[in-house]
Chains A and B, each alone.
Chain A
């Protein structure tokens, strides 16, 4: 079983039928299901999400990137501070970074106001957090490898060619 190829296929399209995946990878359906379950158990596969362009819906959704400066804790380093941040459901993604700040956090909220309040009232108050800088996303062009704005390209190829 080519685990990397299976993961790449699922990363591109988590809605593939297991039967189709089996045909693509020359495996049995059972093997595919077993491999997926095992990778879910090991947290290699962490979810099956959908890439959504919220700008095209009527839903109010604002995205912000937040740099967080923090002081490491003796014995725990940054991990316990991180845990105290990522447990907030508003936090969508979180990374420990090299560079001027320690963490980068991606947050979604209904309005800029809501995000600002969350940063001021919650994130900035987490113990060992010493600074925050908030960057609101004005427009998203590409997410998870998908270009969001471009119109679907029409099939340009001739219908039959040598």
Chain B
């Protein structure tokens, strides 16, 4: 039987991930040194692990409320107030999700209908386009440029809006560029969002990893706060990727709509992870700051090292990625990464994995030790010198 003929049209139309190809290639090789990982190298702080283990020992192994443990929602609201000056009600505005990934899915599915357009920024995280398509909407892309430090400008936004535009999905600090939007940058686009009554899905998973200034959210602008759905979680800041725990913050209507989907497809996020997260928010911030300091040091190290060997990169202000240009090599991003992998066994991700606007760039993750980064840079240096770049 031709099983592929039985698949849904939507699924068949989803393009294969550009990252998958590199994963397959790299995982077959011995001695590869990777710069391709989008998750922290730190282990989850022990105080968080211990709390989750204790909850299991205590028999707290049942479903929780659909929206998540009330204590966790309270802690999330207190944390958002404390860290980012955002006020939310734990009863009405929060859903604890299975990672930021579920949050992206349920936020999109709760607001779009077929024919609606959702604006996406490119280069952008790999899951956004398929999630928009699976939700039945049409993605409309804005290409961000290196000259603008990969920021969203009012001109670009205005030009992308049509009668069909329902929402815009943004992600600052950004994976893959490390770009951020400051309060001043956002102030320029707030009137456009208000005028067109756009819903903003704001993926702020890297909010804690903002280096030059305090993270600002579009929800910090009162006039559009209710139009914003914040997506965040514990994966990056608290080094809890494998725990799969995120959350949404939104007005009561959006929250209740998202919760309709969440309750049927998920029921509730893993209970032990929720207990761990309560401890993370109560007592884990010191650990977060230590990890942040370390990321910032690694960022400096890798940016200085890359610029020295001729891999030109600006100093990104957030997340744990740099997005250097390889345009002077005359190679495509894929070519560059493939040859670098085969010749020097260094795995980076081609910029095109994050959309066509990523052509001419590669993504380097610096969630690695200094020794690891040093070895990788030395290998890239040899690669470039062999080609006399």
A residues in contact (CB < 8 Å) with B: 5, 9, 16, 20, 22-26, 153, 157-162
B:32-91 near A, CB below 8 Å: 32, 34, 36-39, 41, 43
A19 to chain B, nearest CB (A): 10
Which of A25, A157, A161 meets B297, CB within 8 Å? A25
| Residues on the B chain within 8 Å of A161, using CB | 19, 23, 36-39
**Could you tell me the distance between the alpha carbons of A161 and B36 in the complex, rounded to whole angstroms?**
6
| Residues on the A chain within 8 Å of B38, using CB | 161-162
B3 to chain A, nearest CB (A): 27
A160 near B39 with CB under 8 A, answer: no
| Residues on the B chain within 8 Å of A157, using CB | 37, 39, 41
B151 to chain A, nearest CB (A): 22
Which of B34, B36, B300 meets A25, CB within 8 Å? B300
Kindly supply a per-residue 1/0 record for chain B positions 137-179, scoring 1 wherever the CB is within 8 Å of any chain A CB and 0 otherwise: 0000000000000000000000000000000000000010000
A23 near B305 with CB under 8 A, answer: yes
Which of A9, A16, A160 meets B36, CB within 8 Å? A160
Which of A23, A153, A162 meets B301, CB within 8 Å? A23
Give 15 A-B contacts (CB < 8 Å), ordered by A residue: A16-B370, A23-B301, A23-B305, A24-B300, A26-B300, A26-B304, A157-B37, A158-B37, A159-B32, A159-B34, A160-B22, A160-B23, A161-B39, A162-B17, A162-B353
| Residues on the A chain within 8 Å of B17, using CB | 162
Q: A16-B370, A160-B26 are in contact. Are A24 and B298 (CB under 8 A)?
A: yes
| Residues on the B chain within 8 Å of A23, using CB | 300-301, 304-305
Which of B36, B39, B370 meets A20, CB within 8 Å? B370
B residues in contact (CB < 8 Å) with A: 17, 19, 22-23, 26-27, 32, 34, 36-39, 41, 43, 125-127, 175, 293, 297-298, 300-301, 304-305, 347, 349, 353, 370, 374
Q: Dominant SS at the A interface? A: loop
B36 near A5 with CB under 8 A, answer: no
| Residues on the A chain within 8 Å of B19, using CB | 160-162
A159 near B23 with CB under 8 A, answer: yes
**Could you tell me the distance between the alpha carbons of A25 and B38 in the complex, rounded to whole angstroms?**
23
Complex: chain B residue closest to A4, CB-CB:
B293
A157 to chain B, nearest CB (A): 5
A137 to chain B, nearest CB (A): 23
| Residues on the A chain within 8 Å of B374, using CB | 20
B34 near A20 with CB under 8 A, answer: no
B34 near A162 with CB under 8 A, answer: no
Known A24-B370, A160-B22, A162-B17; further 14 A-B contacts with Cβ < 8 A:
A20-B374, A23-B301, A23-B305, A24-B297, A24-B298, A157-B41, A158-B27, A159-B23, A159-B27, A159-B37, A160-B27, A160-B36, A162-B125, A162-B126
